[in-house]
Structure 1
Amino acid sequence: MRVDVYTPLLLSLLLPVISPVIGRRVAPALAARVLVAAAVLTAAATTWSLALLAATLVGSAPSVIAEAREDGHRLADPVPETVGIAACAALAVVAWRVHRAVRAERATRRALRQLCRGHPADTELIVAASPAPRAFAIPGRPGRILVTSAMLGALEPAERRVLLAHERAHLAHRHGALVTAVTLAAAADPLLVPTLRAVVFLVERWADEQAATAVGDRTATARALARAALTACRSRPRHALGFTDRSVTRRVAALQTTPPPRLWSLALAVLALGALSAACAADATDDLYALLASVLF
């Protein structure tokens, strides 16, 4: 336990470092999926490791010490008491951050559902009269696409087809669920915030590639993306999956090259990091259980 319990914390430092590399070298669809899976596993293992460190304080309780001495047991000290206290404080911070992230996600979903009220259930496209050029997908059942009149007016007919194909890709591949999962993972483990940014960028790249395939023209897709970015306002709803973002330059450049390959070897290596975090947390759990069992039973 002296080593395994800290391994997930160390791996959560490594994943953000390699996330940009994965985003550049692996196809967006594959890269986004493996990074989300690895981030969720790492965040869960890190949180559980903090819980294990906090649980070591049980052995420091006066009643447990007295009982162990009466039974002739020698108490092992797997971690310093100060580490257990720090883990308790860290768990409180994790609980607060996750609670805040869940509340923000619910508030965003309520606001988006409010925009869809009054429209028939089978309506896919909702056009809102607004001077702010915006377009984003609204996850749900059914999923909706909200586009402002300003955005539609700024695009040519061919570019509108690109926009709709982009937003349909968000809905079809459940990008909202992927972003939500990695957002909660980053809330539980702040070290994973760079991975969250990488995934948000990758789902946009994923939708760009799907749009380019749907319209059959990568150049037209890049042109539509650039025009939308030039006319769009910078402010937009938090966590919304939009057609415009701050990384448009990189996305346009990517559309002017060939799509990146599906490097399964690199993707599996990332998944292995998440699996290693979970395995180390499980091994530390066995060690702590054996330690407490020898004292309490």
Structure 2
Amino acid sequence: MRFDVYTPLLLSVLLPVVSPVIGRRVAPALAARVLTSAAALTAAATTWSLVLLSAALLGDAPPVVAEAREDGRPLVDPVPEVIGVAAVLALLAVLYRVHRAVRCERATRRALRRLCEGHPADTELIVAASPVPQAFAVPGRPGRILVTSAMLGALRPAERRVLLAHERAHLAHRHGPLVTAATLAAAANPLLGPVRSTVTFLVERWADEQAAATVGDRRTTARALARAALTAGSSRPACALNFTDRAVTRRIAALQTAPPPHLWPPALAVLALGALPAIGAADATRDLFGLLASVLV
């Protein structure tokens, strides 16, 4: 308990360090999945560690202390009181951040779904008359693709096929839940913010690769990304491709080369890095229950 309870917090520093390397070296589909899984495990383990540190304060409760002294039992203090109080405050902050992230996700999805209301259930593509170039993959049953007339007007026919293939890839491979899981993990553990950014970038790269395979031309895909980014950049609002100046440059550069390989050894190493905090938290749980049992029984 004295050391294991802190290992998830310490190990969560390593995942943001390795995530950019995995994002560059491993195929986007595999990298996005393993990083999201590792982030979710790490966030759950660090949150549980805060619960354990908070629960350790039970051993310092006045009735417990008085009863232990009457029975002549030794009091073991696995966690200093100041750390237990800090853990309680951190846990409250985690709950607030996760609640806020969930509300933001729900509000965004409700807003997108309202824009799709009034169309037949089997309508996949919805074109909205708007001077703002935007495009969204709207998850749900069924999934929808919402594109503004300004975005379609800015692209050539072949580039429009790239855009639609890109958004269909988001829906087909359920990129929305992946990004949501990474977002909630980063909300629970702010150290995982870089992992969430990497996952967001990787799902876009994943959709780029799917679009390039669908249209059969990586150069046309790169040109569509560049044109859509320049168009959206002139009006500031983000489109569904989530372009930024830095991201679009990296994605276009990636499309100029061969697709990255599915390197399983580093992917499995990332999963192991996510599992280690969970193992540490489980061991700390066993130790804490043993200590509390010795005090309370």
TM-score calculated relative to the size of structure 1: 0.97
Secondary structure class of the residue paired with 1:123: coil
Structure 2 portions without partners, runs of 5+? none
Partner residue, 2:20: 20
Partner of 2:163: 163
Q: Give the counterpart letter for 1:99 in structure 2.
A: H
One-letter amino acid of the structure 1 residue matched with residue 199 of structure 2? V
* 2:123 equivalent to 1:138: no
Q: Structure 1: how far apart are the matches of 2:45 and 2:109?
A: 28
Is the CA contact 1:136–1:243 (under 8 Å) kept in the aligned structure 2? no
Provide the secondary structure at the position in 1 that maps to 2:12. helix
Closer, same or farther: CA 189–241 of 1 in aligned 2, 3 Å: farther
- Cα shift readout 1:157-209 (whole Å, capped 9, x = no counterpart): 11111110000000000000000011011000000001010000000000000
Identity of aligned residues (%): 76
Larger CA deviation: 62-71 vs 226-235? 226-235
Alpha-carbon separation, structure 2, partners of 1:241 and 1:277: 34
Match of 1:242 in 2: 241
2:132/2:237 contact within 8 Å kept:
no
Q: Quick one: distance in 1 between partners of 2:136 and 2:260?
A: 25
**Cα distance between partner residues in 2 of 1:104 and 1:15:** 25
Counterparts of residues 50-199 of structure 1 (less than 5 Å): 50-199=50-199
AA at the equivalent of 2:191: L
Q: Could you state the TM-score of these two structures normalised by the residue count of structure 2?
A: 0.97
Q: What one-letter code is carried by the residue in structure 2 that aligns with 1:76?
A: V
> What amino acid sits opposite 1:208 in the alignment?
D
Partners of 1:104 and 1:231 in 2: how far apart? Answer: 27
Deviation at residue 236 of structure 1 after TM alignment: 3.7
- The whole-number CA distance in structure 2 between the counterparts of 1:195 and 1:282 is 23
Q: Distance in 2 between matches of 1:243 and 1:15?
A: 24
CA RMSD of aligned residues (A): 1.1
Give the secondary-structure state (helix, strand or coil) at the position aligned to 2:13.
helix
**Alignment correspondent of 2:292:** 292
Matched, 1:201 2:188: no
Q: Check the 8 A contact 1:179/1:200 in 2, yes or no.
A: yes
1:102 deviates by 0.7
Say yes or no: does 1:210 pair with 2:204: no
Could you list the structure 1 runs, at least 4 aligned residues long, displaced by more than 6 angstroms after superposition: none
Counterpart residue number, 2:6: 6
Q: SS of the residue aligned with 1:232? A: helix
Matched residues in 2 for 1:119 and 1:252: separation?
Answer: 34
Quote the Cα distance in structure 1 between the aligned partners of 2:217 and 2:193.
34
Matches of 2:160 and 2:132, distance apart in 1: 16
> Given that residues 28 and 206 in structure 1 are in contact (C-alpha distance below 8 angstroms), is that contact kept between their aligned partners in structure 2?
yes
Instruction: Tell whether the 8 Å contact from 1:167 to 1:243 is kept in structure 2 after alignment.
Output: no
Q: Deviations over 1:89-127 (max 9, x none)?
A: 000100110111011111101101100101110000000
Which residue identity is paired with 1:66? A
Contact 2:101–2:184 under 8 Å retained in 1? yes
Give yes or no for the alignment of 1:31 onto 2:40: no
> 1:11-34: per-residue Cα shift (whole Å, max 9, x none)?
111101111000000000000000
- TM alignment of 1:40-55, pairs within 5 A: 40-55=40-55
Per-residue deviation, residues 60-117 of structure 1 (Å, max 9, x unmatched): 0111011111122111111111000000000010011011101111110110110010
Q: Report how many aligned residue pairs link the two structures.
A: 295
| 8 Å contact kept, 1:43–1:188 | yes
